[in-house]
Chains A and B, each alone.
Chain A
Amino acid sequence: MKPASFRYVRPNSVAEVCEVLAAEPDARIIAGGQTLTPMLAMRLARPSVLVDIHRIGELIGISRVDGAVVIRSATRQVDALHSAIIDEDLPLLAKALPWVGHPPTRTRGTVGGSIANADPSAEIGLVAVTLDAEIVLADGEDEEVVLAEDFFIGPMLTVASPSACLTEVRFPRRPDGRLGVGFQEISSRKSDFAFASAAAQLVLDADGACSELRVGVGGVGDVPLKLDAEALCGTRLADAEIRDFAVAAMADVETVGDLHASEAYRRRAGAALIAKAIIEARQGALNTGSSGGRNVG
């Protein structure tokens, strides 16, 4: 038994969770525990109380609401991976989910937990930033909605106050038209933390020109980043244009270096993966034909 001592509570509702969090400044929420359990063991996390939310019914489920796909925070990654709603309306997330951990960790790991954990190399956070997802926090009686880009402020650090409970993530539904998505990642071994990752979602118009493009890069810096892809909109996305864009985009990014990958490596790998993700998305869109339709392969 390696963690520092804590109390364990299992509230039945979000309101009860908020009560505990308000009363106990050093409380910590546990849902899937796939990151928190080892952090407790290494004593990187030393909560006074562990608040287990994994069975709270109101925090589980995936639904369509207006133009968004709403994923409640304690929804398991494995359930997201096999959700028809995500398959149809959120193809970029469908593409990214197989990269999250490996099957046994996806059985327990949750969508909201991955976001709240704010690992800069995490796939779900990268998709959230790329698509401008909204993150919903319950804090006492209040509800706060934060844009994904503003939510992450550093490695394992978010704007959420210690008294807040992440309740859901609202991803904008895929745009209509000839849509393609791409997700690319590199790590030292399969299912390990990414040194760099990239996500792309784009729409081609009837002439094959790009009418909408979203690109994000993860694992290279302190937080997942959304890139300004305006320069490629209106073009036909030639390989050379894409590569120039990717290199230029990474030139402005502050990368981090560690034992596994230097700053320069992350800059190069980031650019290569951005280009690959956009090319993958472009091919996907070209394969859908002009009428649109789904593309998750």
Chain B
Amino acid sequence: MHVTLSVNGTEHALDIDPRTTLLDALRDHLDLTGTKKGCDHGQCGACTILLDGKRINSCLTLAVMHEGDAITTVEGLSTPDALSPLQAAFVAHDGYQCGYCTPGQICSATGMLEEIAAGWPSHVTDDLEADPALTREEISERMSGNLCRCSAYPNIVDAIAEVGGAAK
């Protein structure tokens, strides 16, 4: 089946089986292997990407459903010589061990900081009228869809807090 995917600003015309998940299309058909496959059913967040700026799990959706959507993967966030602020913060704070969950963590955190900037409250936000503050509790709650098997959580939260704080 024919589909045109717009990934990191580039259009890719693909002829793929409709069974192909967006994750498999990115990795196997477009060679964008930054996005990782952990569980392949929505439990780990390793495959998180941004769809029209909002974070989603790419293993939970079919590539043919995304004609015309703007897809951003970890490769689209920066270049190797100019890391995105979150990527630089993950390096500075050692926000990983094996690094397998990291692209998903970074894409998810990128989307999450946008949500905070847009004033979206979370589960743990007490005052729904005020702009949400970026406490550690808020970060943990909002990043709960991204697991880290190495349990680098404290450093991941440090990295996100630094960037989120600086952005405010």
- Is B112 part of the binding interface, using a Cβ–Cβ cutoff of 8 Å? yes
**1/0 per residue A76-117: CB within 8 Å of B?**
001001100000000000000011011111011000000000
Q: Which residues of B contact A (CB under 8 A)?
A: 1, 17-21, 24, 40-42, 45, 48, 51, 54-57, 59-62, 64-65, 108, 111-112, 115, 120, 122-123, 126-128, 141-142, 144-145
- Pairs A–B under 8 Å by Cβ, sample size 7: A5-B19, A7-B18, A30-B65, A37-B41, A38-B60, A103-B108, A104-B48
1/0 per residue, CB under 8 A from B, across A19-54: the answer is 000000000001001100110111000000010101
Judge whether B65 and A107 touch: CB under 8 Å. no
Chain B residues with CB under 8 A of A8: 1, 18, 62, 64
Q: How far is the CA of A166 from the CA of B109 in the complex (A)?
A: 34
CB distance from B52 to the nearest CB of A (A): 9
Q: Is A1 an interface residue (CB 8 A)?
A: yes
Nearest CB in chain A to that of B107: its residue: A104
How many residues does chain A have at the interface if contact means C-beta atoms less than 8 Å apart? Answer: 34
Could you say which residues of chain A place their CB within 8 Å of the CB of B145? 101-105, 191
**Cα(A60)–Cα(B113), bound, Å:** 26
Q: What's the least CB distance linking A149 to chain B, in Å?
A: 28
In the bound assembly, the distance between CA atoms of A1 and B59 in angstroms comes to 11
The answer to whether B115 touches A103, judged by C-beta atoms less than 8 angstroms apart, is yes
Alpha-carbon gap, A117 to B7, bound state (A): 31
Our pick among A1, A82, A108, A191 for the contact of B61 (Cβ within 8 Å) is A108
Question: Which residue from chain B places its CB closest to the CB of A34 in the assembled complex?
Answer: B60
Q: Are A37 and B21 neighbours in the complex by a CB distance under 8 Å?
A: yes
Question: Out of B24, B56, B64, B141, which one reaches A108, CB within 8 Å?
Answer: B56
**Contact across chains for A103 and B126 when beta carbons are under 8 A apart:** no
Q: Are B60 and A1 in contact (CB under 8 A)?
A: no
Contact between chains at B144 and A50 (CB < 8 Å): no
A104 touches B56 (CB 8 A): yes
A56 on the B face (CB < 8 A): no
Whole-angstrom distance between the alpha carbons of A82 and B122 in the complex?
11
